[in-house]
Amino acid sequence: AAEGARFAVSGVNLGLFCSTPSVALSRNLGRKQAFEMLVTGDFIDAQAALDKGLVNAIVPAEGLDAEVGRLAASICAKPAAAIAAGKGLFYRQLEMGIEAAYQLAGQTMACNMMDESALEGVQAFIEKRAPSWK
Q: Which of 53, 44, 117 is nearest to 85 (CA)?
A: 117
Q: Where are the domains of the chain?
A: 6-75, 78-126
Identify the pLDDT of residue 71: 96
Identify the pLDDT of residue 134: 79
3, with CB counted inside 10 A (0-12, 13-18, 19+), is: middle
Is domain 6-75 given the CATH code 3.30.390.30 in the classification?
Answer: no
Are 6-75 and 78-126 in the same CATH fold?
no
User: What pTM was computed for the model?
Assistant: 0.75
pLDDT 10s per residue in the chain (134 long)? 999 999 999 999 999 999 989 998 998 899 999 999 999 999 999 999 999 999 999 999 999 999 999 999 999 999 999 999 999 999 999 889 999 999 999 999 999 989 999 999 999 999 999 999 87
Identify the pLDDT of residue 133: 86
Cβ atoms within 10 A of the Cβ of 106, count?
10
The CATH number of 78-126 is: 1.10.12.10
